[in-house]
Structure 1
Amino acid sequence: MTPFDPARLQASTVCLPPGPWATVLDCLCDHFKAIDRSQWVDRFARGRVLGADGQAISAGDPYKRGLRLHYFREVPNERVIPVQEAILHVDEHLVVADKPHFLPVTPGGAYVEQTLLRRLIHRLDNPHLVPLHRIDRHTAGLVLFSANPESRSAYQRLFPERRIEKRYQAIAAALGQHTFPLVHRSRLEHGEPFFRMHEVQGPANSETHARVLEKNEEHWRYELSPITGKTHQLRVHMAALGAGISNDPFYPALLDVEDDYQRPLKLLAQSLSFDDPLTGQARRFETRLRLDW
């Protein structure tokens, strides 16, 4: 018999934490407070909660600490995001895609199927795809995926070991008060609300190199090279320099606005360069997208 593979069905996995619950349902409701109890009851009724063997279990099954379950994330009436990704490269180990603005890379919050990962899984019929890095939902451009679990760790190490060069383009207000090229370093931590980052006192944990590519009256086109990979790093650093990236709804101020597909964030993941850890071959990928003024 073929062993159950939750990845093939794109199921999420949870091991039940310690607690006083009587049933599996009680534990899941308390553990995932954002999901209504009626949604869990419905999932159990439709066989959308599975045991470690891949068989559907009952909502009334007794709770057991450490019990391994697989469940399917669902968003009722998930909103369609009217943008289209492009696949730039596919081989045995890697997939490279151009992500449009507004499309999340991975499931989370209000998005499951309307994500780059799930779209690529369906298009390529490969449930083992895993993103090797992330870019913001508002950012467009290159995303690199591992297509093969056996070689995944070799490619994953490229990022923490800083053996991959990432270059972005951004359009923002002119920064005539600064001399370019420049290096901006600071300490970034999560602020309020939780998804916004801010600069604080202390040893730097983020570094960005910036230069000017083109000048167009009041706005300039910048090339940004993040040496570190902190959340929203480029957006925070540009705001700190005095020129928040054009159409940024988070920085320098948090704006209460809905997605406007005519006014995307002017930030683009332009290129990825690295020596392939399996072959030693120099590899470089370039986006086919472009930021308009």
Structure 2
Amino acid sequence: MAEGPPARREQGAGGLPVRNGVAASFVAIPADCRRGLLDFLLERFPAVDGATWIARIARGEVLDERNNVMRADTPCRPNTKVFYYRELDAETPIPFEETILHQDAHLLVVDKPHFLPVVPSGRFLQETLLVRLRRKTGLMDLTPIHRLDRETAGVMLFSHNPATRGIYQSLFQQRAIVKEYEALAGTLRGVTFPLTYRSRMVDGTPFFRMREAPGEANSETVITPLEQRGEHVLYRLEPLTGRKHQLRLHMASLGIPIVNDAFYPDALPCKGDDLSAPLKLLARSLRFTDPLDGAARHFTSLRQL
């Protein structure tokens, strides 16, 4: 059974508490809907059988925006939301553990392993960093305040205090956080280091990829070689902007794609549950001045490529 990734509220969605680390999801009812709840859900999620929805409804786990428990024949109200818990019949365990680096009254800082998605989506639910951390810490208001690809390991910041979350999120918007990555890739010859690479990045094909296009640059990365490792070089990458897949696309565009990159320069067939060849990209560290107390914060990954 598989459901698409509808929008999520992090806690208390539709009056439903976080359950086993998973917040309730919701689906919007379109303006032209004139049918009962079960018929609407079966059409919206064709991969989920009717028995599953009937069981959820019977447990009182499908609610409307007013926190009313809905029945299978409850008429859908157009332009409202229906809240429920996402479920998966089976989920492949990811045998790599996250490490908590720091916790205070506002932030949780974590060293993420390769292959572990940050938030639930598609075929991942319990085996995601957010759900694992909620179960481990009991912090139900936990929310990531920036992103890392599933394939990338390293330092991630989470907020668990809604009152200060926006303050920390604004640091990323203001580019007030210094991010350093490490990547293993081929040798880049004929250039002077450190190299500042800029390009215009836009949505690509398939939908999960980015591409470069003519026009004013909207992405910028500083690239510095650190050491030779056989036929490869370990690079320090400093993204001055935060575009999706920026480091992966920039390195591939320079002719030195990151080792084991299945998206760039070409999208390779899906590896499914094959965890044998991690992308050689690590979010090594984050540095910033804490906006609440002015303290210098510096968090470093314990992992090695």
Q: TM-score scaled to structure 2, two decimals? A: 0.89
- After superposition, where does 1:142-157 map in structure 2 within 5 Å? 142-157=155-170
- Residue of structure 2 aligned with 1:71, choices 84, 87, 94: 84
After superposition, what is the alpha-carbon deviation per residue over 1:248-292, rounded to whole angstroms, capped at 9, x for unaligned? 11111111134443321100000011111111211110011111x
Moved more, 72-81 or 152-161: 72-81
1:87-126 aligned within 5 A: 87-126=100-139
- The residue type equivalent to 1:230 in the other structure is R
Q: Report the Cα offset of residue 105 of structure 1.
A: 0.3
1:253 to 239, 242, 266: 266
1:160 aligns with 2:173: yes
1:38/1:86 CA distance change after superposition, 3 Å: same
Q: How many residues align?
A: 290
1:200 is displaced (CA, Å) by: 1.3
1:11 lines up with 2:24 in the alignment: yes
**Contact conserved, 2:16 with 2:61, CA < 8 A, in 1?**
no
SS in structure 2 of the partner of residue 252 of structure 1: coil
- 1:284 lines up with 2:294 in the alignment: no
2:34 match: 21
Structure-2 residue corresponding to 1:56: 69
Structure 1 pair 23/284, CA: closer, same or farther in 2 (3 Å)?
Answer: same
| CA-CA distance at 1:156 after TM superposition | 0.8
| Pairwise CA distance, 1:127 | 1.1
1:210 is matched with which residue: 200, 209, 223? 223
- Whether the aligned pair in 2 keeps the contact of 1:49 and 1:56 (CA below 8 Å) is yes
Letter in 2 for 1:200: A
Question: Aligned letter for 2:135?
Answer: H
Once the two structures are superposed, residues 145-189 of structure 1 have per-residue CA deviations (whole angstroms, 9 ceiling, x without a partner) of: 001001111011011111111110000011123221111111112
| CA shift in 2, pair 1:235/1:35, >3 Å | farther
Write the letter of the residue equivalent to 2:129: L
Residue of structure 2 equivalent to 1:182? 195
Q: Which amino acid aligns with 1:113?
A: Q
User: Which of 249, 253, 268 in structure 2 is aligned with 1:236?
Assistant: 249
Structure 1 segments unaligned to the other structure (5+ residues)? none
Q: For 1:40, what is the secondary structure of its paired residue?
A: helix
Q: Distance in 2 between matches of 1:49 and 1:5?
A: 10
- Corresponding residue for residue 211 of structure 2: 198
C-alpha displacement at 1:191, in angstroms?
A: 1.5
Match of 1:95, as an amino acid? L
Matched, 1:271 2:281: no
CA drift at 1:216: 2.2
How far residue 46 of structure 1 moved from its aligned partner, in angstroms, is 3.6
Identity %: 48
Shift in CA distance, 49/190, structure 1 to aligned 2, threshold 3 Å: same
Secondary structure of the residue aligned to 1:118 is: helix
* Deviations 1:175-229 (CA, angstroms, capped at 9, x unpaired): 1232211111111122221001111112211111111111123210000011111
The alignment's C-alpha RMSD in Å is 2.1
1:35 and 1:183, CA in 2 relative to 1: closer, same or farther beyond 3 A?
farther
Contact 1:8 1:128 (C-alpha < 8 Å) held by counterparts: no
* Distance (Å, rounded) in 2 between the aligned partners of 1:3 and 1:76: 22
Q: Which moved more, 1:151-160 or 1:25-34?
A: 25-34
Distance in 1 between residues matched to 2:253 and 2:62, nearest whole Å: 46
Structure 1 position 54, deviation (Å): 4.0
Partners of 2:14 and 2:63 within 8 A in 1 = no
Deviating beyond 6 angstroms after TM superposition, the runs of 4 or more aligned structure 1 residues are: none
Does the C-alpha gap of structure 1 residues 183 and 34 become closer, same or farther in structure 2, counting only changes over 3 Å? farther
Deviates more, 1:94-103 or 1:14-23: 14-23
Q: Identify if the C-alpha distance between structure 1 residues 53 and 125 changes in structure 2 by more than 3 Å, giving closer, same or farther.
A: farther
**Counterpart residue number, 1:262:** 276
